[in-house]
Homo-oligomer: A and B are copies of this chain.
């Protein structure tokens, strides 16, 4: 499985889509946007902090495992750090796979695993 992981301080730009195989039947994309309401509080944005070297390593291992489990073709994963204003994306994921089921499961699992132990933190200010 082809895995691309990017941590960036800049605004996320959706990468151009390259369909490398005539056997890709499903493209699943996810964007996580910063929301205004976090609990009771109205925010202007969130500040993300990462330990990028470790985050890359831990995340890559998860994505490789999920690739084995679900059998997808490729994943592009972008996480923004620093200040992210409300309405902008902190996270972008694109999964290419033969069928939708495996792409959707890969996507859901990859976000669950991101939130499990990948060293990235957000704070309100």
Chain A positions near chain B (C-beta within 8 angstroms): 19, 22-37, 86-87, 89, 98, 100, 104, 107-108, 111
Contact = CB atoms under 8 A, between A and B. Distances in A.
A37 B100 CA distance: 15
Copies of this chain present in the complex amount to: 2
A31 B35 contact: no
Nearest to A100: B111
A34 B100 CA distance: 12
Contact of A30 (B19, B22, B100): B100
B36 A26 contact: no
B19 A25 contact: no
B22 A100 contact: no
Given A104-B107, A104-B108, A107-B104, A33 B26 contact: yes
